[in-house]
Structure 1
Amino acid sequence: MHLPHKLTLMVAAISLLLTGCGGSGSSIDTDDISGGNQLVYTPGQYLAESKLKDYCAIPRKGIDPFSNKAYPDKVGSALHEKLWLRSWSNRTYLWYRELSDLNPAGYNVVDYFHRLKTDGKTDSGASKDKFHFVQNTADYLQQTQSGVESGYGISWHLNQGVPPRKLTVAYTEPGSPAASAGISRGDEVRFVNGVDFVNDNTDEGLAKILAGLYPSSAGESHQIVMQKVAGNQMTYNVQSADVATTPVQNVSVINTDIGKVGYLVFNSHIAIAQPQLISAIEKFGTENISELVIDLRYNGGGLLALASQFGYMVAGNNIIQDRFFEKVQFNDKYPNTNPVTGAPLQPMPFYDTVIDYNQGRLTSQALPTLGLNRVFVLTSESTCSASEAFMNALRGVDVEVIQIGGQTCGKPYGFYPADNCGLTYFTVQFSGINAKGFGDYADGFIPVEYPVYAADVKGCAVEDDFKHNLGNTAEASLNTALYFAKHHSCPVVAASVSQQVDKTDSFAAVKETGTVEFKLKQPNLLLDNRISMPILPLE
């Protein structure tokens, strides 16, 4: 099959300023390559990362607003950046043995990075590495540290990317331009900037659609025509803005025949979710709930430490009993040492106190707990990474996880974001296992009423119901969870879920065999993040 032609809307990239330095193996230590005069690609030989990092074709100048320090960038070249990526990948990539030693000549920096990944497949034939991506560092830090992203505040669900296309609103952020305009869950896109979204099959049309659906900055105005759930069409003239993310939403207590059931939507494992989760758990504790339903359908992942804290808040000490949240494994160059931090490998615990994420430190403030030995988790193909680690970790300490919804994305892997020259790169560096030694779910967790295989999770397969708002007890996934809690079985009306939507490391229109295909933008917090960061003990 020929290579697809991509109409790229924007380049992606991220960073928590957790970069590896130094080389290993057959790396070369060159005294003076800052000007690029001695810089060459030699097959099989890898320059030390420390001799290449922060040498940039276009150095940033001034003070980094996130660190209040001067940018580390020095005058270099694109070859510096590409050879740094090559050395860094050879040292830290989980499947480094499956990388071809590709000559960087003829590629720009981002294209070269996209080729530094394995072509291997999972048991089902899917790509083993679906999670290789890059984004502008400043944009990522704005999203993860402040929870702000330019746009309308819409999370989309792509039902079909080729004509006749179908794109549905999964949810909107509270107070966002979309919510204020009246756009709501279940609305389907019909026209964007005058272009027929459903049927247009031209590069020009898709470029206009992408520009309208994914504005690159605040203050852009675009016209979107929506088919409402009620059947009528509405035209919206919406202006993009810097939208604040609310990762924890719809916190409620539902009175049922079997007692009080807590429900919350958790959409992103970012630092600002910590106080929101604590508040929700405290509310559930005060209300003395007997069951908990956690809606992770649109949670692509994020901070593992936060997933660990949430797991602790759900289960508590009496159930966890000093067992760990997750043990990470790097490539065979680092059997006992973390290649990024240099620290000895130790399992991540279930963190039981508040974390100061700005300083990366534990505090002395204890987290509230519910002491539950069973939890319901609502899932979809967008449930990924740290969300899957949360499920796997609870199963590892014998908390019964009941899965309602769709097969998860399948990412038992993670990475340390690495910033270089204003782009932050994500490449898979570790895999994770729970306290029982299980981590083999590369094809996702699958809800099955009568589990057979290790990645089968007891529960019910249910189509995402866009006709009802999240938290509405008539909404299919929540309704099924409540039914299962009472009857210990799936209702006969539970529907089979559709096939997973392939993920992509960019959002673009892709033209293959004459058909223009719309690819969905990566979920909030970009693509399926499973971010690890050092957490220092309380001093």
Structure 2
Amino acid sequence: MRQKNNLYLAIGLAMTTAFLAGCGGSSGGSSNNNPVVTPDPQTTPPTWQAGQFRPSSEFANLCATPRSGIDPFENTPYPDAAGTATHEKMWLRSFSNETYLWYDEIIDNDPSQFSTVAAYFEQLKTPLTTASGRDKDEFHFSESYEDFKKESQDGVSASFGINWTIPQTRMAYVAYVTANSPAAQAGVERGDRLLKVGDLDFTTFNNQDTAQFNQIISAFSPAKDQTVVLTLLGQNGEEKQLSLTALDLELEPVRKTQVFEFEGKQVGYMQFNQFIASAQPELISGFNQFSSLDELVLDMRYNGGGLVFQASQVAYMIAGDQHNNRNFSVKTHNDKQSAQNEPLGFVDQSINWNTLTYNDDKLPAANMKRVYMLTTSGTASASESVINALRGIDIEVILIGDNTRGKPYGFVPQQNCGTVYYTIQNKSANNKGFGDYEDGFVITPSEQLVGEIGLDARIPGCKISDDFSKALGDQTEGLLAGALHHISTGNCPVTVARASRSAVTQDVVEQNMSNNFSLPYHPFRQGAIYTPMKEPSND
């Protein structure tokens, strides 16, 4: 059955979206494609009164620094008019009160007490924590409209071409390198470990010092044309110092697809890194190769999330028509937005991301009864929604690697005055009503699992450390080898732990626990699931 439902933000944790993208508008943008209505200029700041909220529409597009001219992404005039920073804060306040999932947990602080709009937005979220002690909302985020459009719609991001993973305190490894990038040309390889950024030691820098923190962050999220000197420890134990300049690079959401024979079985493997619009052609091409598989291994160990409707497409391409018209997910909003609590089916059509319309086709499908997922704590949001959705229709999912991050939440990115804001607006559950995996999906020995699958956060599989010594897709690489061992025997490898290469002693790690480093949340890279504000249609 062709998908006619609206696409929406399902869950979340990697990283952006008008989709996704990776964490709204046209093909992943934040515009709703309605005629642009520019408000009348207002230069007198509005007055805040605790507990009293005017409609956000009264403050929308009233900007301290309004843009002028034509939006190059939408080819329409910018909607901005002259306003004040207080107008922007009051818009954020009202918008959060209207749409934030936990709006009644936000402390209504006086906007004038915050020096910038960004500082005010930062605290417009719940202060509560999960059962494990994590912040209930780790995913509050904003970015420039231009950066959002480039990454979510065009699949481009300023980068050296290094994709990092941080599996331990103060340990940052190169997960993979983008082809033909500055990093690739400089000889950066998977498994290289970060030692220094400029003259700062990554293991000992002061995380509380803003200047030092920003210098370290430049290794992970550089601006275009920014040059940074990195010192890395190579696989051979030798240090290499490299001067890299960031460029706008095309992302590699689908990096490797292959079908190989293993013990008389046809096994498909795909490394899938981001749910973004530009991933669609290669996803379709890859699943066209998976028409006659015995087993499927989907490598999402570094996939932080993205477009919910693309997550639904991927789930369909795994399961095919076994969904039997059951739901991919059902989202729940706050009590003010309950009219939006609607199910999303399994999307079986491709999407024209430029017009946000469904194409007249049907996606390929592997029709798997079982799928192996390679996961780590970097697996989040839209990736987790695929896992949850498949379990909701009784497709067997086996996890190889580590527990996922935990983000059953989503949002519709909203643009105002040149900034795109991500504020959690819904929580999603699978067809069986389960969506409580705020602390991630937990790999659990099969003998400990009791009850109907798809109704809790425990999933069968094997805990295996990420193996940086081998290329991704190599059949001897730790996680993929673990999946193949399980395919062969039905059991986990006897020895599953692989020691991380480290020149850092345990006492140094422990000393820095209180000064831990984690990347600032970014929807595209660390987990997002979202819906465009204009939803795909069959027009």
Choose the corresponding residue for 1:115, options 120, 123, 127: 123
Kept after mapping to 2: 8 A contact 1:362/1:535: no
Kept after mapping to 2: 8 A contact 1:193/1:212: no
Call closer, same or farther: CA 1:308–1:455 in 2, change over 3 Å.
same
CA distance in 2, matches of 1:254, 1:283: 11
Kept after mapping to 2: 8 A contact 1:462/1:497: no
The aligned counterpart of 2:279 is 273
The aligned counterpart of 2:105 is 98
Q: Deviations over 1:242-279 (max 9, x none)?
A: 11101001211222114111111111000110111000
Q: What is the SS of the residue equivalent to 1:175?
A: coil
Kept after mapping to 2: 8 A contact 1:461/1:497: no
Q: TM-score, normalised by structure 2?
A: 0.86
CA distance in 2, matches of 1:447, 1:497: 19
Q: What is the SS of the residue equivalent to 1:146?
A: coil
CA distance in 1, matches of 2:411, 2:214: 32
Structure 1 residues 58-457: aligned runs within 5 Å: 58-107=65-114, 108-161=116-169, 165-201=170-206, 203=209, 204-218=211-225, 220-285=226-291, 288-317=292-321, 319-335=322-338, 337-338=339-340, 345-450=341-446, 451-452=448-449, 454-457=456-459
The alpha carbon displacement at 1:323 in A equals 0.8
CA distance in 2, matches of 1:367, 1:387: 19
Q: TM-score, normalised by structure 1?
A: 0.86
- Structure 1 residues 121-130 or 104-113, which shifts more? 121-130
What are structure 2's unaligned runs of at least 5 residues? 1-21, 33-38, 451-455, 501-510
Kept after mapping to 2: 8 A contact 1:382/1:523: no
The alpha carbon displacement at 1:36 in A equals 4.2
Q: What is the SS of the residue equivalent to 2:386?
A: helix
The aligned counterpart of 2:53 is 46
CA distance in 1, matches of 2:520, 2:49: 37
Choose the corresponding residue for 1:486, options 485, 488, 497: 488
The alpha carbon displacement at 1:139 in A equals 0.4
Kept after mapping to 1: 8 A contact 2:320/2:367: yes
CA distance in 1, matches of 2:245, 2:86: 39
Q: What letter is aligned with 1:261?
A: V
Aligned length: 489
Call closer, same or farther: CA 1:518–1:442 in 2, change over 3 Å.
closer
CA distance in 2, matches of 1:526, 1:224: 21
Call closer, same or farther: CA 1:190–1:497 in 2, change over 3 Å.
closer
Kept after mapping to 1: 8 A contact 2:466/2:498: no
Q: What letter is aligned with 2:435?
A: G
Q: What is the SS of the residue equivalent to 1:242?
A: strand
Q: Deviations over 1:178-222 (max 9, x none)?
A: 11221011001123223333334484554433335532123x333
The percent of aligned pairs where both chains have the same amino acid is 39
The aligned counterpart of 1:538 is 538
CA distance in 2, matches of 1:380, 1:347: 28
CA distance in 1, matches of 2:113, 2:102: 24
Call closer, same or farther: CA 1:207–1:87 in 2, change over 3 Å.
closer
The alpha carbon displacement at 1:531 in A equals 0.6
CA distance in 2, matches of 1:78, 1:160: 40
Q: Provide the alpha-carbon RMSD of the alignment.
A: 2.4
Q: Which of the pair has the greater relative contact order for Cα pairs under 8 Å at 6+ separation?
A: 2
Q: What letter is aligned with 1:233?
A: E
The alpha carbon displacement at 1:67 in A equals 0.2
The aligned counterpart of 2:469 is 467
Q: What is the SS of the residue equivalent to 1:190?
A: strand
The alpha carbon displacement at 1:154 in A equals 1.1
The aligned counterpart of 1:9 is none
What are structure 1's unaligned runs of at least 5 residues? 1-12, 21-31, 339-344, 499-511
CA distance in 1, matches of 2:366, 2:471: 26
Call closer, same or farther: CA 1:519–1:62 in 2, change over 3 Å.
same
Q: Deviations over 1:441-466 (max 9, x none)?
A: 11110111224481000111111111
- Structure 1 residues 64-73 or 120-129, which shifts more? 120-129
